[in-house]
Amino acid sequence: MAHRVRILETGEVTHNVRRFKFERPAGFKFEPGQATEVAIDRDGWREEKRPFTFTGLRDWDHLEFTIKIYSGHNGVTNQLAGLKAGDALLIDDPWGTIRYKGKGTFIAGGAGVTPFIAILRDLADRDEIAGHRLIFSNRTERDIIMRDTWERMDGLDCLFVVTDEPGSSLSGGRIDRDFLRRGVSDFGQNFYVCGPDRMVEDVNAALEELGAEPDALVFEK
Ligand SMILES: Cc1cc2nc3c(=O)[nH]c(=O)nc-3n(C[C@H](O)[C@H](O)[C@H](O)COP(=O)(O)OP(=O)(O)OC[C@H]3O[C@@H](n4cnc5c(N)ncnc54)[C@H](O)[C@@H]3O)c2cc1C
């Protein structure tokens, strides 16, 4: 069922990622990690639905998306970048297979961190963040979404990786089998993986080769 919701506030997260806070329809519920189909309530854009993930907490009085803007072509995200408070979105009911199922390591690439924003915020809110790990890969340091938030979460073990910035003090290189073998000591834990399709396939395959159980891999199916 489509809900028409007004944007309450927009803001910058990184140079190409924006946050959208918007009205929460009465009784609207979602689980951290879930997404929905979104369209802009404007002529010519209502049929252009794209999936975005709820990044706020379940008990907030508003909803939130954190969206990477592709300004290189006139798609939905380029249009979203121009919206302001008072403009309206059409959202469907929540869906998605990324759900928290216990302690583990979160492996994200770029905007693939969005389902983990809700899950990790929820764990921090419940004082249960300790013992979790976030491995977050981006092209460069300026692409890292909400770096301060992750670094401030007491007990979250953060490892930032950049693939295209040789001068950076952060870990370089791709998250491949070698990287995981060196950087992960326990393959019996849960792994949550989200990012570009290719990255998710490669990381899941590497984790299984290294001993992770297929049932312990959580990703969008
Ligand atoms: C379950 C799920 C949840 C998601 N949640 C989020 C989220 O919370 N936040 C988020 O930022 N993203 C999220 N995404 C991804 C998001 O849906 C896409 O980034 C979005 O659909 C892009 O829409 P668009 O209309 O701007 O681009 P599209 O037109 O849909 O194009 C998408 C891709 O193609 C490329 N592309 C297409 N045409 C051109 C062109 N002419 N020139 C240059 N590049 C082009 C774009 O660079 C981009 O990589 C999610 C995806 C899924 C499947």
CA atoms of 159 and 153, how far apart (whole Å):
13
Average pLDDT of the residues in 32-47:
97
- Rounded to a whole number of angstroms, the distance between the first and last alpha carbons of the chain is 22
pLDDT digits (tens, 9 = 90+) for 141-169: 999 999 999 999 999 999 999 999 999 99
Average pLDDT of the residues in 199-205:
97
pLDDT digits (tens, 9 = 90+) for 89-146: 999 999 998 999 999 999 999 999 999 999 999 999 999 999 999 999 999 999 999 9
The closest residue, in CA terms, to atom 10 on ligand 1 is 67
The closest residue, in CA terms, to atom 19 on ligand 1 is 68
pLDDT digits (tens, 9 = 90+) for 183-193: 999 999 999 99
Instruction: Compute φ and ψ for 134, nearest 5 degrees.
Output: -120, 120
For residue 180, is pLDDT > 80?
Answer: yes
Provide the percentage of residues in the chain whose pLDDT is more than 90: 97
Report CA(13)–ligand 1 centroid distance (Å). 17
Beta bridge partners of residue 136, listed in sequence order: 108, 160
Q: Is the CB of 80 under 6 A from ligand 1?
A: no
Report CA(113)–ligand 1 centroid distance (Å). 14
| Residues 72/31, Cβ–Cβ less than 8 Å | no
* Ligand 1 pocket, mutate which of 13, 54, 69, 77 (most atoms under 8 A from CB): 77
The strand ranges marked E within 56-103 are 62-68, 88-91
Q: Is the CB of 220 under 6 A from ligand 1?
A: yes
- Cβ-in-10-Å burial (0-12, 13-18, 19+) of 187 comes to middle
Match 């929540």 to its residue by tokens.
94
Distances (CA, A) of 87 to 7, 91, 171, 173: 6, 13, 41, 41
pTM score, whole prediction:
0.94
For residue 43, is pLDDT > 90?
Answer: yes
Provide the percentage of residues in the chain whose pLDDT is more than 70: 100
Beta bridge partners of residue 19, listed in sequence order: 11, 66
Output the pLDDT for position 181. 96
CATH tag, 3-91: 2.40.30.10
CATH tag, 104-218: 3.40.50.80
Looking at ligand 1, which atom is closest to the CA of residue 52?
5
pLDDT digits (tens, 9 = 90+) for 102-111: 999 999 999 9
Beta bridge partners of residue 171, listed in sequence order: 161
Beta bridge partners of residue 16, listed in sequence order: none
What is the band of 80 on the pLDDT scale with cuts at 50, 70, 90?
Answer: very high
| Residues 100/119, Cβ–Cβ less than 8 Å | yes
Report CA(51)–ligand 1 centroid distance (Å). 8
Q: Is the CB of 147 under 6 A from ligand 1?
A: no
Average pLDDT of the residues in 174-198:
96
CA atoms of 124 and 102, how far apart (whole Å):
14
| Residues 16/69, Cβ–Cβ less than 8 Å | yes
For residue 212, is pLDDT > 80?
Answer: yes
Domain boundaries, the chain: 3-91, 104-218
Average pLDDT of the residues in 171-186:
93
The closest residue, in CA terms, to atom 39 on ligand 1 is 73
Report CA(54)–ligand 1 centroid distance (Å). 16
Q: Is the CB of 25 under 6 A from ligand 1?
A: no
DSSP track, 12-66: EEETTEEEEEEE--TT----TT-EEEEEESSTTTTT--EEEEB-S-TT-SEEEEE
Q: Is the CB of 34 under 6 A from ligand 1?
A: no
Q: Which residues contact 117 (CB under 8 A, 6 or more apart)?
A: 53, 55, 66, 145, 146
